[in-house]
Structure 1
Amino acid sequence: MTADRAELGRRVAYFRGVSRPRMTQQQLADRAGVALGTVRKIERGERAASGRMLETLADALGIDVPRLLGDATASCAVRDALPAISDAIAVYDIPTDGPVRPLSRLTSDVQQCTAARLAAQYKRIAHTAPDLLPELSRALHQADDADAERVAALLVSAYRSAGAAAYKYSAQDLSARLVELMRWAAARCGDPLIAAAVAYVRTEIFFAARAHRAGLAALETAIDRSPAPATPPTAAARGALHMRAAVIAARAGDATAARTHLGEAERLAGQAPEGLYGGTAFGPDSVRVHQVAVAVSLGGDHVGEALAMARAWKPPADMPAERRSGFYIELARAQLWAGRPGDAFESLTAARRIAPLHTREHPWVRHDVATLRRLRRSAAPALSAFAEWCHAI
């Protein structure tokens, strides 16, 4: 047994013990998707851990690899991959030479990236995207007429996943470039539902720039251009745009527009059962999440609406992790403003448990945790550990 293995084992056991709620070895194994014997051997220092195993354990514990290793200066896997993603899209229209796997294999990889995005597993996207994006570009360049639209649709989804990782890690320029490439690829699909999905994602550019009124205008144009809501997929496409428009209208301080769009989203949710439509979750539960987001974005007297909603309803466990954690991040802000710091910390803890990477990189989380520490001059160890984890101190 080496000292490195022994130290790693001690740190795994420590972080498992201080998690909230405390995890057993079996629970850690289940969350990491590894055998119980593997966890036991690592904690006893009897087994080394590969880079992939370290990432898996860190994700399951809700921390990053540097903290698991006790190295605060180590790099972040997602940020380290962003330059490679940037290089990969630089030649989108003149792809480099290389292999192109069968379309079924490419489809599977893109689906896995989409699943990682919805689960807020950005490290998986960072690991896959630098090779997958150029390969998809080559596939589109080589595709015959029968396959070109299908490959273009795959590119839209892959760009969306890579853009999500860039956006969450504050690489706004790269995120905006990927959105523009989504638009470029969508134009080669000829599918109005894909165009609507791209318009939904494009709103991130306006959120990042705080150009809320311009973003609202862009969404309202996209709503007018979206297909008539005659089927569940078309109702979901338009409904998702209304959900997004409601939030950005609230950020702009336009309560009337926010309520109007939210009402349209709620009406359309009656035509589309909760589910994934073109990579976007939509349905009655998704609308409820956005009702809370709108109330928090409007602030002031509207905060009570968010708290009332949370008392009556919680997002179901099968909702995508990113959206579910976002609900608790929004709720924590409302609870903090309402003078309920204990409840706010519980909500942030719930968000972390659901989607650690999404929670840690969310700027509201850092701000709100820092506020909680100021309010509690003798901060509890759990709050201090949380603040260290999300870089709020």
Structure 2
Amino acid sequence: MPLPADDHTGSRIREQRRLARLTQRELADRIPYSLSLLNQVECGARPATPGFVAAVAHALRMDASRLAGPPAVTSLRPERLLALVGPIREALDRYDLGPNPDLAEVRPAPELIAEADALCRQVRATHLRAAAKALPALIVESTQTVWTAPSTAMWKALASAYRTAHDVVLKLDHPDLSRVALDRMGWAASRASDPCIEAVQRYKRATLWRCATSLPLIASGQSLLAGETSREALAVAGQLHLGAATVAAKNDDATAVEAHLAAARELADRVGGEAGDVHWLSFGRANVTLHELGASIAMRNFDEALGQARALKLPDSTLTSRRARYLVDRALVEMEAGSAKASLKFLAQARQVAPEQTRHLPGTRATIRGLVHMSRRAPESLGGMARWIGL
């Protein structure tokens, strides 16, 4: 069942009515408007006047802005989100200002390098808030160190910290700030003179933008690795092919998708096993299969995606972030197949495995909205899930 394309006040009234487990008749009985008008507003045939919205909001015991305005994209309160993101933004802004005379104390370089890797690990374990809180100090101190005692290892650590900042703010729905973080990553990676880190940055930029410049970015990343045969380089090159497959799927180019997936499979065979230790990319056969599923979903080949999702067996070594993404994808394709009970089950599993990540994934919202539209009366478990993401 494809998701509805409409997103207007009437459709949000319909969603909230179903989440309240009310029929149209039952809601109409609670407001000073006719059942006929309610039906027309919900399907978009008539506009919802401010008075109508206020009456419905009163009947459903919620703020009218939830019906009249766009749906929330994050469940965190604005002030809490600002408290996490604001310090990261400030830390990113200091990159070219030279030594900071007001910074009283800086940890030794080995500690900063170790923490940069630890924060990468935290994000892959979906501990987003913990990583977000620790990032500003790491970035500020690492920036100070590369200005006062530069070394290749510290430039790599700073590039890693910027990459983690990108991952965190993107998951917290700040794509513009994530682009700034990637620019900073490129700045640090070029000074580290590490082609693999530079190629990872190109991969991140390409999959973030998914536009006309994405494929040239992928190609430039591949050119950086030309002639490299190390396990690290092979894993990064394979991940670049997966990025290209993602972009091609976005553009409905099935031929290019298959070509890039085939190249990634060949590189995964050469790497052997799951290269989770290579820049936290988790490149390997399982990751190729997960991208194959993602490509089918992006191209709306839901029958094929359903078969892929049901056949997929993730290894025990799969990172939490990857496992949660698979569970949300599985919930989405089960919903599209009309299996509401199975869809809810996999959403619940994703929430249990990685609550912070699951709450912010676009697929979670799309699945819950689809389930609400499938239900005449949303079951309490679905209502609870909708409230959890702020729908």
TM-score tier (shorter) = 0.7 to 0.9
Shift of 1:217: 3.0
Q: Which residue of 2 aligns with 1:27?
A: none
Change (3 A) 1:217 1:345: farther
Structure 1 unpaired stretches of 5+: 1-71
Shift of 1:103: 1.5
Distance 1:96 1:347 in 2: 48
Shift of 1:377: 2.1
Cα pair 2:207 2:243 within 8 Å, conserved: no
Q: Is 1:252 equivalent to 2:241 in the alignment? A: no
Alignment of 1:240-279 (within 5 A): 240-272=239-271, 273-276=273-276, 277-279=278-280
Shift of 1:86: 0.8
Cα pair 1:116 1:125 within 8 Å, conserved: yes
Q: Which residue of 1 aligns with 2:365?
A: 366
Shift of 1:346: 1.8
Aligned partner of 1:82 among 76, 80, 85: 85
Shift of 1:125: 1.3
What is the letter of the counterpart of residue 159 of structure 2?
V
Alignment of 1:184-195 (within 5 A): 184-195=187-198
Size of the aligned set, in residue pairs, is 312
Distance 2:274 2:226 in 1: 19
Alignment of 1:1-393 (within 5 A): 77-94=80-97, 95-97=99-101, 98=103, 99-144=105-150, 148-207=151-210, 211=211, 213-228=212-227, 230-272=229-271, 273-276=273-276, 277-299=278-300, 302-392=301-391
Structure 2 unpaired stretches of 5+: 1-74
Cα pair 1:192 1:227 within 8 Å, conserved: no
Structure 1 window deviating more from structure 2 (73-82 vs 194-203): it is 73-82
What is the letter of the counterpart of residue 179 of structure 2?
A
Shift of 1:227: 3.7
Shift of 1:229: 5.3
- Which of 1 and 2 has higher RCO (CA within 8 Å, sep 6+)? 2
Distance 2:161 2:302 in 1: 36
Distance 2:257 2:228 in 1: 20
Distance 1:192 1:179 in 2: 15
Shift of 1:79: 4.0
Structure 1 window deviating more from structure 2 (179-188 vs 310-319): it is 310-319
Q: Which residue of 2 aligns with 1:23?
A: none
Distance 1:332 1:216 in 2: 30
Distance 1:256 1:123 in 2: 40
Q: Which has the larger Rg?
A: 2
Shift of 1:178: 0.4
Distance 1:127 1:324 in 2: 24
Cα pair 1:82 1:126 within 8 Å, conserved: yes
Cα pair 1:133 1:159 within 8 Å, conserved: yes
Structure 1 window deviating more from structure 2 (266-275 vs 336-345): it is 336-345
Cα pair 2:145 2:154 within 8 Å, conserved: yes
Shift of 1:75: 5.5
Distance 1:387 1:228 in 2: 50
Shift of 1:77: 4.3
Shift of 1:384: 0.7
Identity of aligned residues (%): 28
Shift of 1:225: 2.9
Structure 1 window deviating more from structure 2 (225-234 vs 111-120): it is 225-234
Distance 2:146 2:165 in 1: 18
